[in-house]
Amino acid sequence: MRLCKKLGFWLSLAFVASLLGCGNATIQTEGKTHKIGVDLELTGGSSVWGVPQKNAIEMLVKEINEKGGINGIPIELVVYDNESNETQALIVAKKAVEQDQVLALIGGGTTPTTMPIIPYVTQQKVPIVSVGSGDGITSPVNEREWVFKTPSNNQDIAKSIVSFLKQKGKTSVAFLSMNNAYGESGKNAFEALAAEQGITIIASEKFGAGDKDMKPQLTNIKAKNPDAIIVWAIPPSASIVNRNFWELKMNQMLIYSAGAGANAFIDLAGKDAAEGTYIASGKVWVAEQLESNDPQQGLLTKYVKDYESSFQTGVSPIDGMAYDAALLVTKAIEMSGENVSRQSIRDNLEKIQGLVGATGIFNMSPDDHTGLKPEDVIILQVQNSKWAIAK
Amino acid sequence: MSGADLIQLIVSGLTVGGIYALISVGFVTIYNVNGVINFAQGEFVMVGAMSAASLVSAGCPLWLACIISILVAAAIGAIVQKIALHPARFSSEVVLIIITIGISTALRGIAQITFGSNPLTLPAFLAGEPVRLLGAYVPRQDFFIVGITVITMVLLYLFFEKTMTGSALRACMMNREVSRLVGISPNRMALLAFGLGAALAGIVGVSIAPVSLATYDMGMMIGLKGFVAATIGGLVNIPGAVIGGLLLGLAESLGAGLISSGYKDAIAFLILLLVLVFRPQGIVGAKSGKRV
Amino acid sequence: MERIVQVHKPAAIGVRRWGLLLVGIIVAAALPLLLNSYLTSVLVIIGIYCITTVGVSLLMGFAGLVSLAQAAFWGVGAYVTGVMAVSFGISPWLGILLGMLISGLLAYGLGWITRNLNGHYFSLATLGFGIVLNIVLIEESEWTGGSSGLMGIPGLSLGSIPLSGDSAWYYFVWAIAALCLFFCKNLVRSGWGRNLRSMHASQAASESMGIHTGEYRLKAFVISALFAGLSGGLYACYMSFVSPAVFNFDMSIKFVIMAVLGGLVSIWGSLVGVVVVTLLVEVLRQYVPLLLHNSSSGGAIEVIFFGVLLVAIMVYLPNGIMGIFHKRTSNLRVSAK
């Protein structure tokens, strides 16, 4: 019994101690820094995005700090892993805001991990720039005073796909989406737009995130003979779909949404399979092919070069979106001049105009917390195993 | 839906079924010898797939990479059995299950660090366009998958029936206590079974990586499906596991194609529920009074 | 000859125990005032998880059944509460009760059709059920919002005072959690509970004594589902947003792990298990980046650490943490098969 009591005592002590320990500030840095919290999916189902996103953010911050920081003050990133889990995303956001006293948050990387944070940041008055693509993150704007996001709205992506379809005279399409938040929101956006614009969806299929073979769904689609197939998915399933598509010797137009754009999309699908595939995405993959008067050309070329040399892997539009989130926050800090506060960052985020990012050119306003236009999304095509601007 | 499309569905279903069959054979082997439901089986598949992919991208020739990866998977299986399962061999089933869950978690984390979070791929064993068969298109890799499954089954059969070690293992699967009486070391057999199960998983990983790609978190779902296949087959013998796998693959493919693709995974698990409720000994198993 | 018999003084021991309990309660009540909102919210989540885990502990430790569907029942509670509130404007209080009811009914149905299954087979059936339910939550997106989740679930209010802020939630959730813990403790100690435990120890023996094991199993299963439903409803109101991704097989496993780690020998094991696991995650989150000075692999290192720790604890402490205190020559250690 004595042993039990002793153990019990020490265990309770450990409990209280660890609680208090967790509540203390993290690494002490000398001098003043601007703290930015990062709440991303570094493990779990969405880590295929979360890790490159974190890399991109760290790359930008390192570059800024090497130049002396913003107005002489360095930026300190506080990075946490939300495990692709929304409960953790909220806890981590709270930790960053209250314990680390961050000025602003970047995250979550997906819509379900961003949504629970929204009521909290609104109540605590902390600006957040999300890398999730759901349109519901920044609308209705009057309830999203403190929330911003960088990925193009699914609506804009759908718009660019639809106008490309009409341009090519394709009117009957099949829609294949992933059975998760991303695929679903894309499906809703596309269906709404297609109805308006006279595109008929003759087949609609879904597949799970962990599925390894989408031939049944594609066989169904093939039987209905659409003009084009739109796929809304993330890697690696997106590449598997392309591969299965090729294996079934289908020859419709195959168009992906931006989320499919893995760094290695072409390799994963197989060079033969990927040839001719389209994707609606930002311009990051065709940086060298942009006209010299394209405002994004300079930034994108530099981004691609820096990222590839730092991380030994290709870029993708998705890490570009995280890079833009960091760009926005650091720009807002810069615009705040001497008096940097959460309120000033929020106010300045709304005032950002003409900021060239990897995903597009950001023009924020009190009515628009995404700041991008449909024109920022273009259609690319794999030609000779490389991405090129589709004609 | 034309006849050719139906055949396409059946052919895809059988290929996927072959994959499930191999995984479930590994499961059943481990379950019957070690007495544990190995939640880490899917991770061994992942280890095989990821190792092969990394080796190949580092320049290793394909055939060598495959062999090394299968050995790596088997080795990891053996190590895991020795340090984690062997010391706990007297614990209850639940504890053993949780240990395998811990192992699967740890393996996933190690894989994420070693291989990164990006998906990796393996070149197809036979390059070229899909082959037309009875109106359906069959990718060349699928022939490999089916071929490898068949060869593995044959080798396993020879191993279990014709070799001394194999017979010892089979005896252990049937009754551990009694095999001890005739001098078969249950500890050695447990180690062997685990290594064998892991090697089988490694073979699966290497075969499917060209078509299904390899990610560090591919293990969970694949493991579960193999699990379901094993249960359908009755959890007690290898032919049952194979049949279970093939049936599952077919049901999934036909269900997704003919009924609803959103509910495709639900079909697999509904079948599991139905089998458990109406025929818990599995499609192949004999009626055992497994109530008390 | 006089034999001097030592008489235990039960009153003294009683006072000491009650004293400790009182100190414990005072500390627990003071915690939100000492800690910031982040830590308080961790404690709220611990409380919510605890309610489900108590049910798991009852089912596993005393009825001997491993259910891999608890996260699904948790989800049913959460979604029923959420959908009722968002689509039909029904008060969350009622929604939570409804959620519990539907959870219980589903458990009754599942328990009934699997009444002849034992051990692994029962667990596999719950596995299948849990996954199917999760898929239903994703597919029926008209009601549930699908994978994108259900937004805008209202919080709870006591009368006209809304329950807002982590401190208020802390007291509320822990009051309920305490009630659940005490309810289960009493249940286990009662005649009903004794029958349940004897059933776990040996089904044949209990049946020969006239105990309808099937009924007990079913009741235990339903009770565990009721707890999970309650917990789910609270979770929905606290987070104001739910998505199917949380109510999956992974989470079911987490509940089982928390119950086993804490120790199935005692109902308090569920509390201990939840606290240890959740705090471990936070402690790792805090200290691993400090040790590594490099955040690239931080997340994965925590995952490895957690997995290895889990294995280590299960190998060396198979009776969980409470097992250190309760030297039960329990039915958890079985001889080699």
- Residues A84 and A144 placed together within one structural domain of the fold: yes
Q: How many domains does chain B have?
A: 1
Question: Would you call B167 an interface residue with chain C, using a CB distance cutoff of 8 Å?
Answer: no
Shortest Cα–Cα distance, A389 to chain C (Å): 31
Which B positions 46-85 lie with beta carbon below 8 A of chain C?
84
Token pair recorded at residue B4: 């050719």
Name B105's Cβ contacts closer than 8 Å, sequence gap at least 6: C303, C304, C306, C307, C310
- CB-count exposure of residue B61 (10 Å: 0-12, 13-18, 19+): exposed
Chain B nearest-CA distance from A360, in A, is 25
Q: Is C192 on the interface with B (CB under 8 A)?
A: no
Q: Which of B90, B269, B292 sits opposite C203 (nearest CB)?
A: B292
What's the pLDDT at A22? Answer: 64
Q: What is the pLDDT of residues A195-244, one digit of tens each?
A: 888 889 998 988 887 787 888 888 888 888 899 999 998 878 888 898 88
Average pLDDT over residues B26-36: 84
- Mean pLDDT for B191-219 is 88
Q: Burial level of B167, CB count in 10 A (0-12/13-18/19+)? A: middle
- Domain membership of residue A311 (yes or no) is yes
Which has more pLDDT, A132 or C155? A132
Give C-chain residues touching B91 at CB under 8 angstroms.
Answer: 314-315, 318, 332-334
Which A positions 100-129 lie with beta carbon below 8 A of chain C? 111-112, 115-116, 119
Interface ipTM > 0.85: no
Q: Mind listing the pLDDT tens digit for each residue in B227-242?
A: 889 988 888 778 888 8
Paired with A278 in beta bridges are A255, A381
Q: Measured between CA atoms, how close is B97 to chain C, in angstroms?
A: 10
Does C151 lie at the interface with A, CB-CB under 8 angstroms? yes
* pLDDT average, residue stretch B33-39: 84
Confidence of residue B7 (pLDDT cuts 50, 70, 90): confident
What is d(CA A17, CA C218) in angstroms, rounded to the nearest whole number?
Answer: 41
Contacting residues for C7 by C-beta, under 8 A, at least 6 apart: none
Mean pLDDT across chain A: 86
Beta-sheet strand order (sheet of A172-178): A200-207, A172-178, A228-232, A253-256, A278-281, A378-383, A386-389
Asked if B106 has any chain C CB less than 8 Å from its own CB, the reply is yes
Cα–Cα nearest to B8, from B180, B253, B267, B208: B253
Residue C58 has pLDDT above 60, yes or no: yes
Q: Which range of residues forms the domain containing residue B149?
A: 10-278
Per residue in A96-119, pLDDT (tens digit) is 998 889 999 998 898 889 998 998
Phi, psi of C150 (to 5 degrees): -110, 120
B289 touches chain C (CB under 8 A): no
Q: Are B146 and A81 in contact (CB under 8 A)?
A: no
Residues of A in contact with B253 (CB under 8 A): 213, 215-216
Residue A8 pLDDT > 70: no
Measured between alpha carbons, how far is C184 from C191 in angstroms, rounded to an integer? Answer: 13
Within its chain, how far is the Cα of A157 from the centroid? 13
Q: What is the pLDDT of residues A50-90, one digit of tens each?
A: 888 999 999 999 999 999 888 889 999 999 989 888 899 99
Give the pLDDT of residue C329: 46
* Cα–Cα distance for residue pair A134/A115, rounded to 1 Å: 9
Give the CATH number, domain containing residue A211: 3.40.50.2300
Mutate to test the interface with C, among B98, B175, B181, B272 (most CBs of C within 10 A): B98
pLDDT of C334? 43
- Separation in Å, CA of A190 to nearest CA in chain B: 18
**Strand positions, DSSP E, chain B:** 131-133, 136-138
Chain C closest-CA separation from residue A290 CA (Å): 32
Secondary-structure breakdown of chain A: helix, strand, coil percentages, each rounded to the nearest 5 = 50, 20, 35
Which residue would you say has higher pLDDT here, B180 or A62?
A62
How much is the CA Rg of chain B, to the nearest whole Å? 19
pLDDT at B67: 92
User: If you ran DSSP here, which 8-state letter would residue A36 be given?
Assistant: E
pLDDT value of position A84: 87
Domain count, chain A: 2
- The highest-confidence range among A140-144, C5-9, C300-304, by mean pLDDT, is A140-144
- Residues B29-49 as b/e (b if ≥16 CB within 10 A, e otherwise) read bbbbbbbbbbbbbbbbbbbbb
What mean pLDDT value characterizes chain C? 82
Question: Chains near B, with 3+ CB pairs < 8 A?
Answer: A, C
Strand partners, A16: none
Residue B102 touches partner C, C-beta closer than 8 Å: yes
The verdict on A143 touching C (C-beta cutoff 8 Å) is no
The string of DSSP codes covering B35-87 is ----TTHHHHHHHHHHHHHHHHHTT--HHHHHHHHHHHHHHHHHHHIIIIIST
pLDDT at A94: 92
Question: Mean pLDDT across the stretch B48-54?
Answer: 92
Task: Check: CB of residue B205 under 8 Å from CB of residue B54.
Answer: no
Q: For residues B176 and C277, which has the higher predicted lDDT (pLDDT)?
A: C277
Q: How confident is residue A4, by pLDDT bands cut at 50, 70 and 90? A: low
Query: How far is Cα A128 from Cα C49, in angstroms, rounded to an integer?
Result: 28
Q: Is the pLDDT of residue A15 over 80?
A: no
Closest chain C CA to residue B100: C311
**Who contacts A258 (Cβ-Cβ below 8 Å, separation ≥6)?**
A133, A151, A152, A157, A279, A280, A281, A282, A317, A318, A377
Q: What is the CA radius of gyration of chain A?
A: 22
Q: Cβ contacts (< 8 Å) between B139 and chain A: which residues?
A: 247
* Closest partner CB to C117 (pick from B84, B220, B276): B276
- Neighboring chain C residues of B176 at a CB cutoff of 8 Å: 336-337
Q: How far apart are the first and last CA of chain A?
A: 80
Determine the 3-state secondary structure of A37 from DSSP.
strand
What stretches of chain C show up as alpha helix (H) in DSSP?
Answer: 10-34, 37-57, 70-88, 92-113, 119-139, 141-144, 166-189, 191-201, 203-208, 213-239, 249-262, 268-292, 298-316, 322-325
The Cα angle at residue B237 between residues B97 and B26, in degrees rounded to 5: 50
Six token digits for residue B105 = 């978690």
* pLDDT for residue B291: 36
Q: What is the pLDDT of residues A337-352, one digit of tens each?
A: 888 889 999 999 999 9
A350-359, C166-175, C320-329: lowest mean pLDDT where? C320-329
The answer to whether residue A62 sits within a structural domain is yes
Q: A160 with A273, same domain?
A: yes
Find residue A77's DSSP bridge partners: A36
Nearest to B257 among A220, A240, A246 (CB): A220
Helix, strand, coil distribution of chain B in percent, nearest 5: 75, 5, 25
How do residues A294-313 score in pLDDT, each as one tens digit?
Answer: 888 888 889 988 988 888 77
Segment C5-17 shows an average pLDDT of 61
- The arithmetic mean of pLDDT across residues A375-382, rounded, is 88
Confirm if A203 and A222 have CB atoms less than 8 A apart. Answer: no
Residue C333 has pLDDT above 50, yes or no: no
Q: Which is nearest to C294 in space by CA: A55, A322, A362, A359?
A: A55
CA angle A296, A299, A300 (to 5 degrees): 75
Select from B95, B109, B270 the Cβ nearest to the Cβ of C132: B270
Q: What is the Cα–Cα distance from B191 to B182, expressed in whole angstroms?
A: 18
Q: Does C117 touch chain A (CB under 8 A)?
A: no
Residue A389 lies in a domain: no
Please report whether residue B5 resides in a domain.
Answer: no
CB proximity A4 to C under 8 Å? yes
Percent of chain B residues topping a pLDDT of 90: 18
Q: Cβ C149–A112 below 8 Å, yes or no?
A: yes
Amino acid code (one letter) for A121? V
Q: For residue B289, is pLDDT > 50?
A: no
Q: pLDDT digit string (tens) for C183-211?
A: 988 888 887 777 777 777 666 777 777 76
Question: Which range scores top for mean pLDDT: A25-34, A51-60, C308-317?
Answer: A51-60
Q: Rounded CA gap, A79 and A77, in Å?
A: 6
What pLDDT is stored for residue C222 in this prediction? 94
Q: Which CATH number belongs to the domain containing residue B33 in this structure?
A: 1.10.3470
Contacts of C239 in chain A (CB under 8 A): 86-87, 90, 116
d(CA B25, CA B197): 8
- Rounded to 10 deg, the angle between the A297-311 and A47-66 helix axes is 110
pLDDT (0 to 100) of residue A315: 84
Distances A149 to A135, A349, B23, C192 between C-alpha atoms, Å: 9, 11, 43, 56
* Residue from A94, A122, A207, A232 to probe the interface with C (highest C Cβ count within 10 Å): A94
Residues listed for chain C: 337
Neighbouring chains to C with at least 3 Cβ pairs closer than 8 Å: A, B
Reported as a pLDDT band with limits 50, 70 and 90, residue A150 is very high
Distance, CA of B230 to CA of B223 (rounded, Å): 10
* In a shared domain, residues A109 and A166: no
Q: Which residue of B lies nearest to C250 if distances are taken between CA atoms?
A: B220
pLDDT at position C48: 95
- pLDDT confidence tier of residue A27, bands split at 50, 70 and 90: very low
Summarize pLDDT for B61-78 with one digit per residue, the tens.
888 999 999 999 999 999
CB atoms within 10 A of CB C204: 10
Asked if B261's CB is within 8 angstroms of A205's CB, the reply is: yes
Structure tokens at B187: 């500890």
Q: How far apart are CA B49 and CA B219, in angstroms?
A: 10
Domain spans in chain C, listed from the N-terminal domain onward: 35-248
**Residue of chain A with shortest Cα separation from B20:** A212
Among partner residues B9, B118, B130, which is closest to A219 by beta-carbon distance? Answer: B9
Determine, for residues C334 and B92 on separate chains, whether the beta-carbon distance falls below 8 Å: yes
The answer to whether B277 contacts C129, with C-beta atoms less than 8 Å apart, is no
- Can you give the pLDDT at residue A264? 76
Q: Which of B112, B124, B262 faces A206 most closely, judged by CB atoms?
A: B262
In the numeric block, the tokens 């919002």 are attached to C145
Answer yes or no: do A222 and A242 share one domain. yes
CA nearest neighbour of A115 among C277, C245, C77: C245
DSSP, res A143: G
Give the residue numbers spanning the domain of A210: 154-281
Q: What rounded mean pLDDT belongs to chain B?
A: 84
Rounded average pLDDT over C58-72: 87
Query: Would you place residue C11 in the very low, low, confident or very high pLDDT band (cuts 50, 70, 90)?
Result: low
User: Are residues C139 and B99, on separate chains, in Cβ contact within 8 Å?
Assistant: no
d(CA A276, CA A269): 12
φ, ψ at A122 (rounded to 5°): -65, -40
Looking at residue B183, what is its pLDDT? 82
Q: What is the pLDDT of residue A364?
A: 92
Contact A145, A368 (CB under 8 A): no
Which of C13, C234, C243, C277 is the best residue to mutate to test the A interface, defined by the most A CB atoms within 10 Å of its own CB? Answer: C243
- Asked if residue A385 belongs to a domain, the reply is no
Nearest to residue A96, comparing CAs of A42, A159, A40, A142? A40
**pLDDT for res C274:** 93
Of A74, A89, A85, which is closest to residue A36 (Cα–Cα)?
A74
Q: Is C135 close to B112, i.e. CB distance below 8 A?
A: no
Cα–Cα distances in angstroms (integers) from residue A256 to residues A192, A195, A262, in the given order:
17, 19, 11
State the DSSP code for A24.
S
Instruction: State whether residue C37 sits within 8 Å of chain A by CB.
Output: yes
Whether residues A244 and A170 fall in one domain: yes
- CA distances for B80 relative to A90, B90, B99, C312, angstroms: 35, 16, 10, 12
Res C336 pLDDT > 50: no
